[in-house]
A and B are shown apart, each in its own frame.
Chain A
Amino acid sequence: MKKEDSKILEKLGKEPGFTVPDNYFANLNTKLMDSLPEVQITEEEKPTLWVRLRPFVYMAAMFAGIWLMMNIFTRGQKSSTDMQQRSAKASAGFLAPQNVEEDDIMDYGYSEYDLIYEDSVYIESDGMNGD
C-alpha cells in the first residue's frame, strides 16, 4: 500500500470483489476474434530512393541558390567599392597640395592672364577698325 492511500483503503485491500463466469477468459479471445469484421489494410508503400532523397536535394539546391546570390551580390558590391576607392584615390592624388608646384600655379596664372590680355587686345583692335 502506498503512503498516499488512506487508512480506510488500507483495511479494504485491492480486490474489488468482481468475478467472471467460469472459463470466461479462456474463451474470450476466440469470441473477440470471431466478432471482428473483415477490414482492408492500406499497406504503406515503401518510398523510392528519390522520394527519400528529395527533401535533401531540394534543401541543397536552396542553399546553393542562396550561396550563389550572396556571391554575386558581394562581388558586385566589392567591384563598385574598388572603383570608388580608386577614383577617390586618383582625385585625392591629383589635388594633393604637395603635388602642386609653385611653377604650376604661376603657369596657370599666366595662362589665364594671357587669355584675358589677348581678348582685350582683340576687342581694342576691333574698336579701332570700327572707327
Chain B
Amino acid sequence: MAKRAKYDEEEIVEQLHKQDTCRTAFGRVIEHYSEQLYWQIRRMVVDHDDANDVLQNTFIKAWTNIDNFRGDAKLSTWLYKIAINESITFINKKKVQNNISLDDDDSFLVNNLEADKYFDGDDAQIKLQKAIATLPEKQRLVFNMRYYDEMKYEEMSEILGTSVGALKASYHHALKKIESFFENND
C-alpha cells in the first residue's frame, strides 16, 4: 500500500488555490476532517442520515467557497464554522417542516432515539441526549464541543465568535440545566 504523505496544512492551503492541485488537496482535507466533523454534526442533528446529508452539504459549501478561504484562520476552524451553520440551518428547516416554532428547543430531534437503528446507548445515555436537546442552541454547541470533543475554550471562541468568559459561563449553565433535567426526570 502506498504510504500517504504527512498532512501539512500550510502546503494543503497553498495547493487548494491552484487549479491543477485543488481537487486532490481538498480530497486530503476531506480525509483529514470528515470523521471529526461528522461527529460534531451528528451530536447536533442526532440522526445518522441527517448527519450524512449535513456533512455532504458542509464539504460542498467549503469546496465552492474555497476561493474565499485565504488561510487567515485555521482550516479546521473554518470547516467547523460551516458545519455548525449547516447544522443549525438544517434543524431550523426541519422545525418548519414539522410545524415547530423556531423558538422552541430541539427536543423533537431525540423523540425517536430509542427506535434509531444507529443508536445503541442505554437509558442513561438517552436521558443525557434528551437533556442536551433541551438546551438553547449555543449552550448545546458549547456543551458538545467541551464535553465530547474536549475542545479548548480558545479554539471554541474562534469558531463561535464568543469570548472565552462567555463560553465558560455557557458551559456552566448547560451543566446546571442537565443536572436539573436528571433531577426532575428520575
Question: A interface vs B, CB < 8 Å?
Answer: 2, 4-6, 8-9, 11-12, 14-21, 25, 28-29, 31-33, 35-37, 39-44
A39 and B178 contact, Cβ closer than 8 Å, known pairs A11-B124, A17-B122: no
| Inter-chain contacts of A16 with B (CB < 8 A) | 43, 121, 125, 128-129, 148
Contact residue among B26, B42, B150 (Cβ-Cβ distance under 8 Å from A36): B26
Distance from B135 Cβ to chain A, minimum over Cβ atoms (Å): 14
Question: B interface vs A, CB < 8 Å?
Answer: 16-19, 22-23, 26-27, 30-31, 34-35, 38-39, 42-43, 46, 48, 55-56, 59-60, 63-64, 66-67, 118-122, 124-126, 128-129, 147-148, 150, 171-172, 175, 178-179, 182
By beta carbon, the residue of chain B nearest A31 is: B56
Contact residue among A15, A18, A33, A40 (Cβ-Cβ distance under 8 Å from B27): A33
Distance from A44 Cβ to chain B, minimum over Cβ atoms (Å): 6
Contacting pair B175 A9 (CB below 8 A): yes
Distance from A64 Cβ to chain B, minimum over Cβ atoms (Å): 34
Distance from A83 Cβ to chain B, minimum over Cβ atoms (Å): 60
- Bound-state CA distance A39–B148 (Å) is 35
| Inter-chain contacts of A41 with B (CB < 8 A) | 16-19, 22, 66-67
| Inter-chain contacts of B46 with A (CB < 8 A) | 18
A35 and B56 contact, Cβ closer than 8 Å, known pairs A16-B121, A16-B148, A21-B48: yes
By beta carbon, the residue of chain A nearest B67 is: A42
